[in-house]
Amino acid sequence: MTEQTIDKPMMASEIIAALSDPKKNLGNFQNHKYAHGTAQKIRVELVQSKKFVIDDSLLYNLVQASMVKPEAFKKAIELAKPPFYNMFIEFSEVALLKAYKKFYATQYPALIPFIDAKMSDHNNRTDRKGYHIRERGGDQTEFTPWYCLVDNFNKSVDKWFTSPFSFFIDNVSDKESDFEKRVQQFKDSKDQWSKTYKYRFEQGHVNGTDMVTFPGISFFGEDYFHYYSDRFAQGIEQRAKEISAIKKNNDNEVVYHRDGVEDNNFIYGRHTLMGKGYNKSICHRVASQGDFASICSKLRYGNSYAFDWATPENKLKEPLDVDDKIHRQDLRFRISFLRVKQNF
């Protein structure tokens, strides 16, 4: 697997250029000294990063590698450290979803609607997706996603976006960090919880375990758990009914698609499994046991560098509630890329 030259500028190069004038080019940019300082620091990091474009022809092989059995993926997570401490990878997100759809067409046709729901969410986003990948302390890898919105009238890049939250992989074995240890870490960090979660914990509605399984399922992709567990598939049906009922009976739970259309029905692959009753759901119970629990325990999220420029200066030191919609990623594909890349 090698770097690839393409006719249009590489995504990383375009982002580097955009960071020279972040106020104009970055979405959600707050105009203060910390924001500008961070933007220029990251611009330098991206200039120095090792850059890769994953060719469409390689995506199906990576999809196959991303669907290995859970016990094999446990080992992959431990070994999938970046070959370079500062990398940027770019690929076609639509081509990736098509590769997953091709895989499921022969292996598990019931999951094709899951992929279709993801494909329908693009709207005015471009096809390209990028990840800034950095080694953090030797045993942790940080992934920061990048994408851009397009001015449909001029057919040009409008704004570049990245999340104020990155997701992290702990590249360690269960001896160093397992599910119970991760749960205890959450219980020991109550000061960082939102008021809502702290109240639910004190009332016994949650016990901290959902703080491990929920991001684990979202980052890794519900389809993977579904593929390897019939019980999880049953849990999805259960959660679909429960969440749809909550949305229909509670005005505060009404959600909207990007086109502004009200949607009270749970759509697998688009909406979160979280909400009232998640802790008692089959999905949660499946993800908190065995190899699934091991995988979930190695995944976490935290502030990205974009947090500094997406947050007003006077709010930088305040804890924020996390909206799960910005976290939903398919992390196993990125792990597969790093694992394969080590062999080249």
State how many domains the chain has. 2
Distances (CA, A) of 183 to 25, 180, 288, 293, 320: 39, 5, 10, 11, 20
Q: Domain end: 297, 320, 336, which one?
A: 297
200 and 93 within one domain: no
Distance CA 160, CA 42 (A): 14
244 and 200 within one domain: yes
Q: Domain end: 297, 312, 330, which one?
A: 297
pLDDT on residue 8: 62
Q: What is the DSSP string of 265-291?
A: S--TTTS-S-STTGGGSHHHHHHTSHH
Q: What is the DSSP string of 206-275?
A: --STHHHHHHHHHHH-HHHHHHH-HHHHHHHHHHHHHHHHHHHH-GGG-EE-TTS-EE-S--TTTS-S-S
319 and 280 within one domain: no
Q: Looking at the predicted structure, is the pLDDT value of residue 99 above 90?
A: yes
Q: Looking at the predicted structure, is the pLDDT value of residue 341 above 70?
A: no
58 and 18 within one domain: yes
pLDDT on residue 149: 79
Nearest C-alpha neighbor of 130 from the set 7, 6, 46: 46
Q: Are 82 and 134 in contact (CB under 8 A)?
A: yes
- Domain interval for residue 328: 1-173+301-344
pLDDT, mean of residues 99-117: 92
343 and 202 within one domain: no
Q: Looking at the predicted structure, is the pLDDT value of residue 52 above 90?
A: yes
Q: Looking at the predicted structure, is the pLDDT value of residue 342 above 70?
A: no
Nearest C-alpha neighbor of 225 from the set 171, 288, 174: 288
18 and 155 within one domain: yes
102 and 78 within one domain: yes
278 and 337 within one domain: no
140 and 280 within one domain: no
pLDDT in tens, 250-275: 555 444 443 334 455 677 777 788 88
| Percent of the chain residues past pLDDT 90, beyond the cut | 53
Distance CA 296, CA 214 (A): 8
pLDDT, mean of residues 151-167: 76
313 and 167 within one domain: yes
89 and 5 within one domain: yes
- What Rg do the C-alpha atoms of the chain give, in angstroms? 20
Distances (CA, A) of 109 to 81, 101, 102, 270, 337: 33, 9, 9, 18, 25
Which of 14-18, 79-83, 166-170, 242-246 has the lowest average pLDDT?
242-246
209 and 167 within one domain: no
pLDDT in tens, 202-246: 998 899 999 999 989 988 999 999 999 999 999 999 998 888 777
pLDDT in tens, 117-127: 888 766 556 68
Please, what is the end-to-end C-alpha distance for the chain in angstroms? 6
